[in-house]
Chains A and B, each alone.
Chain A
Amino acid sequence: MNGEIVGGWEYVIAVYIISAIVYAGYAYSVLRRDNASRSAIKETKS
């Protein structure tokens, strides 16, 4: 017992996967809403 946590890679992997999903998901959400707003305004004008 020296205070060091043995193992724990499953927690590390979980955090990095969740973080990647959140960053990518938010980027996709922003891009999609931007595209949708452009299309909606274009439709309204035409």
Chain B
Amino acid sequence: MGDVYRIFYIHVPTAWNGLLLLTAAFVCAIMYLVKGDLMWDDRLEASMEAGVVLSALLTIQGSIWARPTWGVWWNWDPRLTTTAILVFAFAGILALRTSLKEPRRRAMVTAVATIVAAADVPLVYFSVRFWNSLHQIQSSPSTVSAAFVWPLRVNAIAVLILMAGLIQLRAETVARLREAGSEPPPLDEPGNGGAAQ
């Protein structure tokens, strides 16, 4: 493939972690429906937000990689199409949350919508096997050259540690705002670091 193969070392860890975080959101949705504890809704929002960021970044990385290898920025290939659906579905759920003010109703609607949207996660992963695809098969230690395995693992673990820390912090923020019964403060408010007066 030439030098452009180096995109692989950031693209694949982003993909692994993006799908992992959205799976974590799915688990949080199930846990909320089973336990009814709003703590799981806080974690769901944090995981989903991070998962959407990584999935959107994944799509951008893939588009840039597609240009020199496939000759186009975008193709309605099964892997690309299911990934685009994933990004829009979960971003839509995050947008939906902002319109629901009552915490219990918001958590219930989010949990149900997350379980429905999560059906696309395995479709993204297995799309390259289910259908004819321009995209190569899933990259895993068993399908890539031995020289690629450790750099991939190191990058994937680094991204996972970063995102785990950010999700923990974001979940604490969401819980704090919920317990205070307040809306997220506008970030552009002067005076107190962006908080509402």
Check B68 against A40 for contact (C-beta < 8 Å): no
**A residues less than 8 Å from B133 (CB atoms):** none
| B63 CB → nearest A CB, Å | 10
Q: B167's closest neighbor in chain A, by CB? A: A30
Check B1 against A33 for contact (C-beta < 8 Å): no
Check B193 against A35 for contact (C-beta < 8 Å): yes
Contact of B67 among A11, A18, A36 (CB under 8 A): A11
Check B195 against A43 for contact (C-beta < 8 Å): yes
Q: How far is the CA of A41 from the CA of B61 in the complex (A)?
A: 38
13 additional contacts, CB 8 Å, given A5-B69, A14-B64, A39-B192?
A5-B3, A5-B68, A7-B68, A9-B3, A11-B65, A12-B3, A15-B11, A22-B57, A30-B170, A31-B169, A35-B193, A37-B173, A37-B195
Contact of A37 among B7, B65, B69, B176 (CB under 8 A): B176
Q: How far is the CA of A41 from the CA of B14 in the complex (A)?
A: 34
Q: Which B residues are closer than 8 A to A by beta carbons?
A: 1-4, 6-7, 10-11, 14, 50, 53, 57, 60-61, 64-65, 67-69, 159, 162, 166, 169-170, 172-173, 176-177, 180, 182, 184-185, 187, 189, 192-197
Q: How far is the CA of A6 from the CA of B68 in the complex (A)?
A: 9
| B157 CB → nearest A CB, Å | 14
Count of chain A residues near B, Cβ 8 A: 31
Q: How far is the CA of A17 from the CA of B48 in the complex (A)?
A: 24
Q: A18's closest neighbor in chain B, by CB? A: B60
**B residues less than 8 Å from A18 (CB atoms):** 57, 60-61, 64
Q: How far is the CA of A42 from the CA of B193 in the complex (A)?
A: 12
Q: Which A residues are closer than 8 A to B by beta carbons?
A: 4-9, 11-12, 14-16, 18-19, 22-23, 26-27, 30-41, 43-44
Of listed A19, A32, A44, residue having the most chain B CB within 10 A:
A19
Interface residues of A, dominant DSSP: helix
| A22 CB → nearest B CB, Å | 5
Q: How far is the CA of A23 from the CA of B162 in the complex (A)?
A: 9
Check B180 against A41 for contact (C-beta < 8 Å): yes
Contact of A43 among B10, B173, B184, B197 (CB under 8 A): B197
**B residues less than 8 Å from A37 (CB atoms):** 173, 176-177, 180, 184-185, 195
Of listed B57, B172, B182, residue having the most chain A CB within 10 A:
B57
